[in-house]
């Protein structure tokens, strides 16, 4: 042990700096290794043939992931279409309408939704949502619709908690000013509170998109994983994440590099979404 | 047509009430399905017996042990790193470009989806560092994955410790490190524990990042270099490969109940901590 208190302080400080730098190191390693494995194929096959190519047959030299990029965005917007209105209205209810007791119960309960593992969502999707769609709407059930419903539920906690935070941070005086002018509660929410919380709410949607586009296990269980662009909401599809998870266990050689190229595209999309979301959250503050 | 604003107001209020009720009922329905479907298959033997015939028969003991090992070891690595980072960010620096960069790194790590952690862990730990599919590769991958949660919650907890406490400590001529270890950390422990519990919950429920790093061996891992499977991975394989729906339901019950208990405990600790300072 170091006896001299001044030197001990110095020592502790440097250890803590090293700890703090470890996060950066990990981020660097993740980027480096995914890019290192994924980029050579872009050079070899050509950026256009990968990003715009529509044929994925990695053992025959076709690495087109265009259908998966499109599919990933389809399920993401599908999830947003279902999750955003539900999540936002829950957040409004929690911040503007519910009593203190109700809030104490509801908020943790909704956050517990986030704790349920994605495999469980996928399983329930297969057991309940997929047959429901197959029997009452059509198709095989493994579809864009089923995936959007499950992902829509999965992104609820993200949307609710971040929208809630931004609604709560709208100053009380804004609301009082509006009430004083004779506005009803809903007019106040709609015309004053929501516009004031706009950037935080948008950020919650974008973070929800980030979760949906990155979601893997639930998606591969219910999306059907077909290798083409879905033409209706009842068509099966394969996302970028699904492509990696389905084939990584047995892929070798260029095939594996192709999966890392898929990872590179996913990583870039996620980083852009997170950057936009963080920008939205920061501007609010 | 002009609708009476009071009518709209009432209408929206009822709609929002219904919406909140609907969302909570989704949670209740999910938990209820898992409980009712799984309960008939969960008994003493199911929890403590080894699986037979790829999991068609027997219990899930190795996967429970694998889950506990993975979660505990990841916490063991991630807690000092995470709490250390949080202490550095809150106590040892002012806001500067350096802290901004570190915060950016932490935020970015938090946003990376688990399949990319799996991809990274697979190429870095499993292949390049030649660990193979092993408990160690799984632990290191999950450590990185849960680090942002621990850093953020620890930071919040440390920031919430009243400034006066630090001032008193300094006035007694304590050094910074003495103040941190004897004054700040003891007060911040509930918040830090919450972060740890939430991270355990994440590690327990994780599949994508685990299956490509820890593998899916059905045996009980006895060393760091052994492959093994967690409950989530076991459940995924049972359900996806249609090995046994009964065992899948049983496993999902044990999995979901343990995660819910862990998370409820986390919020309980947090609420205790919040009421202490307000």
DSSP single-letter state for residue A97: I
Tokens of A37: 């494995």
Has residue A283 got a pLDDT over 80?
no
* CATH homologous superfamily for the domain A56-284: MetI-like (1.10.3720.10)
Residue B90's closest CA among B182, B166, B143?
B166
What pTM did the predictor assign?
Answer: 0.93
Has residue A106 got a pLDDT over 90?
no
Q: Which residues contact B153 (CB under 8 A, 6 or more apart)?
A: B191, B192, B194, B195, B198
Instruction: Tell me if B117 and A30 make a contact (CB, 8 A cut-off).
Output: yes
Tokens of B257: 């109940």
Has residue A1 got a pLDDT over 70?
no
**Core vs surface per residue A80-117: b (16+ CB within 10 A) or e:** bebbbebbbbbbbbbbbbbeeeeeeebbbebbbbbbbb
> In this structure, is the dihedral angle defined by the CA atoms of residues B28, B31, B37 and B43, taken in order, positive or negative?
negative
CA dist B67 and B74 (Å) reads 11
Closest partner CB to A9 (pick from B175, B248, B259): B175
Chain A nearest-CA distance from B84, in A, is 6
Instruction: Tell me if B109 and A23 make a contact (CB, 8 A cut-off).
Output: yes
**Which DSSP helix (H) or strand (E) runs through B196?**
helix B185-205
Has residue A284 got a pLDDT over 60?
no
What mean pLDDT comes out for the span A98-106?
Answer: 84
Closest partner CB to A216 (pick from B5, B106, B208): B208
Closest partner CB to B119 (pick from A16, A34, A186): A34
Kindly report, residue by residue over B115-165, the tens digit of the pLDDT.
999 999 999 999 999 999 999 999 999 999 999 999 999 999 999 888 898
Residue B151's closest CA among B192, B123, B117?
B192
Are A213 and A72 within 8 A, CB to CB?
A: yes
Contacts of A112 in chain B (CB under 8 A): 27, 260, 263-264
Instruction: Tell me if A115 and B205 make a contact (CB, 8 A cut-off).
Output: yes
- The 3-state DSSP class for residue A116 equals coil
Tokens of A24: 């950066």
In the predicted model, residues of chain B with pLDDT beneath 70 are 1, 276-278
Chain A contact for B116 (CB, 8 A cutoff): yes
Chain A contact for B120 (CB, 8 A cutoff): yes
Contacts of A267 in chain B (CB under 8 A): 112, 116
Are A154 and A211 within 8 A, CB to CB?
A: yes
Closest partner CB to B115 (pick from A113, A183, A241): A241
Instruction: Tell me if A13 and B252 make a contact (CB, 8 A cut-off).
Output: no
State residue A282's pLDDT score: 67
Whose tokens are 């993200």? That residue is: A158
- Between chain A and chain B, the number of residue pairs with CB atoms below 8 A apart is 227
> Considering chain A, what is the average pLDDT of its residues?
92
What mean pLDDT comes out for the span A158-172?
Answer: 93
Closest partner CB to B8 (pick from A12, A122, A186): A186
What mean pLDDT comes out for the span A44-52?
Answer: 91
Residue B146 phi/psi, 5° resolution?
Answer: -90, -10
Are A147 and B61 within 8 A, CB to CB?
A: no
Tokens of A222: 């219910």
Has residue A69 got a pLDDT over 60?
yes
Cβ under 8 Å to A: B residues 191-230? 201, 204-208, 211-212
Contacts of A207 in chain B (CB under 8 A): 111
Instruction: Tell me if A93 and B16 make a contact (CB, 8 A cut-off).
Output: yes
Tokens of B230: 């967690």
* CATH homologous superfamily for the domain B44-277: MetI-like (1.10.3720.10)
Chain A contact for B176 (CB, 8 A cutoff): yes
Kindly report, residue by residue over A193-204, the tens digit of the pLDDT.
999 999 999 999
State residue A4's pLDDT score: 81
In chain A, % of residues over pLDDT 70:
97
**What are the residue ranges spanned by the domains of chain B?**
5-41, 44-277
DSSP single-letter state for residue B224: T
State residue B74's pLDDT score: 97
State residue B5's pLDDT score: 84
- The 3-state DSSP class for residue A237 equals strand
DSSP single-letter state for residue A94: I
pLDDT band at A139 (very low <50, low <70, confident <90, very high): confident
Are A157 and A111 within 8 A, CB to CB?
A: yes
Instruction: Tell me if A110 and B240 make a contact (CB, 8 A cut-off).
Output: no
């Amino acid at each position: 042990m170091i006896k001299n208190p001044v030197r001990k302080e110095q020592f502790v400080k440097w250890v803590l700096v090293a700890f703090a730098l470890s996060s950066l190191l990990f981020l660097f390693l993740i980027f480096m290794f995914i890019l290192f494995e994924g980029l050579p194929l872009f050079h070899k096959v050509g950026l256009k043939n990968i990003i715009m190519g529509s044929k994925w047959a990695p053992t025959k030299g076709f690495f087109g992931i265009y259908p998966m990029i499109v599919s990933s965005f389809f399920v993401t917007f599908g999830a947003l279409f279902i999750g955003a209105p539900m999540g936002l209205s829950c957040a409004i209810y929690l911040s503007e309408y519910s009593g203190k007791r109700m809030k104490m119960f509801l908020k943790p309960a909704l956050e517990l939704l986030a704790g349920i593992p994605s495999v469980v969502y996928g399983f329930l999707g297969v057991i309940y949502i997929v047959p429901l769609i197959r029997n009452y709407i059509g198709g095989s059930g493994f579809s864009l619709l089923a995936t959007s419903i499950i992902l829509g539920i999965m992104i609820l906690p993200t949307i609710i908690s971040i929208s809630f935070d931004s609604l709560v941070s709208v100053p009380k005086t804004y609301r009082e000013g509006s009430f004083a002018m004779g506005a009803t509660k809903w007019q106040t929410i709609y015309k004053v509170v929501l516009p004031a919380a706009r950037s935080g709410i948008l950020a919650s949607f974008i973070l929800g998109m980030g979760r949906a586009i990155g979601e893997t296990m639930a998606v591969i269980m219910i999306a059907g994983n077909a290798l083409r662009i879905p033409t209706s909401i009842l068509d099966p599809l394969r996302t970028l994440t699904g492509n990696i998870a389905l084939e990584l266990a047995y892929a070798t050689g260029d095939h594996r590099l192709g999966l890392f190229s898929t990872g590179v595209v996913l990583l870039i999309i996620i980083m852009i979404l997170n950057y936009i979301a963080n920008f939205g959250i920061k501007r609010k503050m | 047509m002009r609708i009476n604003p009071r009518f709209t107001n009432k209408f929206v209020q009822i709609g929002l009430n219904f919406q909140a009720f609907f969302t909570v009922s989704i949670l209740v329905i999910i938990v209820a399905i898992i409980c009712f479907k799984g309960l008939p298959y969960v008994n003493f033997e199911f929890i403590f017996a080894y699986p037979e015939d790829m999991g068609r028969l027997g219990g899930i003991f190795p996967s429970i042990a694998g889950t506990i090992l993975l979660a505990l070891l990841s916490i063991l690595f991630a807690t000092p790193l995470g709490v250390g980072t949080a202490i550095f960010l809150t106590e040892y620096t002012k806001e500067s470009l350096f802290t901004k960069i570190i915060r950016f790194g932490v935020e970015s790590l938090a946003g990376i989806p688990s399949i990319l952690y799996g991809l990274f862990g697979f190429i870095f730990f499993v292949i390049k560092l030649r660990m193979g599919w092993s408990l160690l590769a799984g632990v290191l991958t999950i450590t990185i994955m849960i680090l942002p949660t621990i850093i953020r919650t620890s930071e919040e907890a440390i920031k919430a410790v009243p400034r006066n406490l630090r001032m008193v400590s300094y006035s007694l001529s304590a050094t910074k490190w003495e103040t941190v270890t004897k004054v700040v950390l003891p007060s911040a422990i509930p918040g830090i524990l919450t972060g740890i519990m939430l991270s355990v919950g994440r590690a327990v429920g994780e599949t994508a990042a685990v299956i490509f790093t820890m593998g899916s061996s059905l045996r009980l891992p006895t060393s760091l270099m052994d492959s093994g499977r967690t409950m989530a991975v076991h459940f995924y394989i049972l359900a996806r490969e249609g090995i046994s729906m009964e065992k899948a339901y049983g496993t999902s019950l044990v999995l979901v109940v343990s995660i819910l208990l862990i998370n409820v405990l986390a919020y309980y600790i947090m609420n205790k901590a919040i009421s202490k300072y307000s």
